[in-house]
Amino acid sequence: MKTYENFIGGRWQTSKSGQSREIRDPGNGELIAKVQESNRDDVLAAVDAARQAFDSGPWRKTSALDRGKFLFKVGDAIRADAARLARLEVQNCGKPLAEAEFDIADAANCFEFFGGLATKIHGETMQVPANSLSFVVREPIGVCGQIIPWNYPLLMAAWKLAPALAAGNVCILKPSEMTPLTALELAEIFRKIELPAGVVNIVTGPGAGVGEEIAANPRIDKVAFTGGTVTGRKIMVGAAANVKKISLELGGKNPNIVFADADLEAAVDGALFGAFANQGEVCSAGSRLLVEKSIHKPLVEGMLRKVPNIKLGHGLQPKVKMGPLISSTHRDKVEGYIKLGQQEGAKLVCGGKRPDAADLKNGFFVEPTIFDDVKPTMRIAREEIFGPVLTVTTFDSEAEAIKIANDTEYGLAAGIWTRNVQRAARVAQEIRAGIVWVNTYHPTFNELPWGGYKQSGIGRELGLYGIEEYLETKQVNINLDEAPIGWY
Ligand code: NDP
């Protein structure tokens, strides 16, 4: 069993706390690794290393072309080790192997996408009403703190690090204390490709302490966060200390709307995949299914016919389609919502309990759960459950569907199922969310912006928009008149 250290200033280092944390497989409880249980002092060491790398190290002088080449090397190295990384991801966060394989490949794509973008950062020249040469240049922000969650450990590390590095920043990344292993393997890749010391620092430890210090430290110029909305608010408060730039990708309670003219079979698949991929532990999960009344019965029956195909089990077992939840605490939270749904009067039509199989009793499993007859006012239809729980609500008209869909404090994603192209375009326009999928659910591309309206966040990741979040904008105004200003 491996004990990992922090990666600070290009070297592996034990925590100043002297403490370590056991990392256990959520599918069977087995001990798989130990990591450093760091504290604020480790963050301060990472800040020193990162500031040195940015303020006087070689990274700011590294050409965009060479920054891009580093990122391509990271992509290659991830691909070369993909099979091992995918298995480690499964053991650390529980998802089925096929999903982990997809995440690892996409993490490699992400580094390559931003590797290519490094050389496309450009400014502008402006005609101004004076005899001057005026232009705009784009520059890195500086030291970026990055705090990521447990549901997509390596992919979220890639989404944060790749654009930041392409833009010429240096980074201090804190993975979730529960799922730090693949991010630490990524650190080893940075070491092997000889990324200059201090350009990427990875510190493991709890949000209380490590995360708080990253958010508040005045020598960190920006903080980027993915996680729950409550934590996001705390990060904003911490970041206010030095008016840090922030980008936040927070929660969602995303509507997946099925109209009567949809392809029913496709909508059934889309509803289940939207709700149950990654055990429903997805910010963009289609956890609120809104169904036109006339097809409510066949749609629910279609889902109930297919739910038995969602094989529950350890993610490394063949044919498993749903793994365990991340922790017993999180399972308690999800089970609390299932109980609440019953108390609120929603109709439990499948799942709602732990599986009976003896080989699953040491993992944090919950069966795929569907509540029918859910009123939009119920808490299970309003609060983010972040587990395999789908609520079904009916509507009579397009206007009512839009009203229910938008009646939420969140605005991350939405799905629309219809064969009517005008309706698809109309409803997509009316939805107050950053991502709208039509006749599909969940496809995510490095090329497209990712992020939310309302309390689902601030800023966008991925695409050309993603690199913007890591760039400052400077105007340079060169006076071409040689005469003095002549004002006094
Ligand atoms: P959090 O939002 O608390 O955790 C995300 C990251 O933030 C982790 O690295 C965590 O550290 C860190 N963190 C926690 N508190 C602080 C703090 N005060 N300052 C700085 N960093 C902090 O998610 P949870 O794991 O607690 O899950 C809570 C809920 O959030 C879930 O039930 C779900 O609803 C939502 N969530 C949303 C995600 C998304 O993708 N949008 C992802 C994960 C959760 P630590 O290592 O201690 O966990």
Is 249 catalytic? The answer is yes
What average pLDDT score do residues 159-176 get? 98
pLDDT tens-digit series, residues 103-112: 999 999 999 9
213: left (phi over 0), alpha (psi -120 to 50) or beta: alpha
pLDDT at 282: 98
Specify the 3-state DSSP secondary structure of 472.
strand
State the pLDDT confidence band at 331, using cuts at 50, 70 and 90.
Answer: very high
State the pLDDT confidence band at 316, using cuts at 50, 70 and 90.
Answer: very high
pLDDT at 156: 98
pLDDT tens-digit series, residues 55-84: 999 998 999 999 999 999 999 999 999 999
Q: Which residue spans within 114-221 are E strands per DSSP?
A: 124-126, 132-140, 143-147, 170-174, 200-202
State the pLDDT confidence band at 488, using cuts at 50, 70 and 90.
Answer: very high
The mean pLDDT of the chain is 98
pLDDT at 75: 98
Tokens of 351: 């799942």
Question: What single string gives the DSSP state of each residue in 185-207?
Answer: HHHHHHHHTTPPTTSEEE----I
Measured between alpha carbons, how far is 274 from 392 in angstroms, rounded to an integer? 13
What average pLDDT score do residues 467-473 get? 98
Measured between alpha carbons, how far is 170 from 10 in angstroms, rounded to an integer? 12
Q: Which residues line ligand 1 (CB under 6 A)?
A: 147-151, 174, 176-177, 206-208, 211-212, 215, 226-228, 231, 234-235, 249-251, 283, 333, 384, 386
Contact, 434 vs 450, CB < 8 A? yes
pLDDT tens-digit series, residues 341-393: 999 999 999 999 999 999 999 999 999 999 999 999 999 999 999 999 999 99
State the pLDDT confidence band at 241, using cuts at 50, 70 and 90.
Answer: very high
Contact, 90 vs 315, CB < 8 A? yes
Q: What is the 413 CA–ligand 1 centroid distance (Å)?
A: 19
pLDDT at 433: 98
pLDDT at 153: 98
pLDDT at 198: 98
pLDDT at 301: 98
Q: What is the 228 CA–ligand 1 centroid distance (Å)?
A: 5
What average pLDDT score do residues 156-173 get? 98
pLDDT tens-digit series, residues 256-309: 999 999 999 999 999 999 999 999 999 999 999 999 999 999 999 999 999 999
Specify the 3-state DSSP secondary structure of 366.
coil
- 93, 110, 171, 283: which one is catalytic? 283
Contact, 182 vs 23, CB < 8 A? no
Q: Which phi and psi angles does 34 have, rounded to 5°?
A: -125, 145
pLDDT at 71: 98
pLDDT at 26: 98
Residue 332, exposed/middle/buried by CB under 10 A (0-12, 13-18, 19+)?
Answer: exposed
Q: What is the 11 CA–ligand 1 centroid distance (Å)?
A: 27
Is 283 catalytic? The answer is yes
pLDDT at 229: 94
Upper half-sphere CA count for residue 155 (Cβ side, 13 Å): 21
Residue 124, exposed/middle/buried by CB under 10 A (0-12, 13-18, 19+)?
Answer: exposed
Q: How many CB atoms lie within 10 A of CB 113?
A: 23
What average pLDDT score do residues 186-209 get? 98
Radius of gyration in angstroms for the set of CA atoms belonging to the chain, rounded to a whole number? 24
pLDDT at 378: 98
End-to-end CA distance of the chain: 75
What average pLDDT score do residues 209-225 get? 98
pLDDT at 42: 98
Tokens of 401: 């569907």
pLDDT tens-digit series, residues 3-55: 999 999 999 999 999 999 999 999 999 999 999 999 999 999 999 999 999 99
Measured between alpha carbons, how far is 317 from 363 in angstroms, rounded to an integer? 13
Q: What is the dihedral of CA 204, 209, 210, 211, to 10 degrees?
A: 120
pLDDT at 223: 98
Contact, 160 vs 173, CB < 8 A? yes
| Residue among 247, 78, 85 nearest 167 (CA) | 247
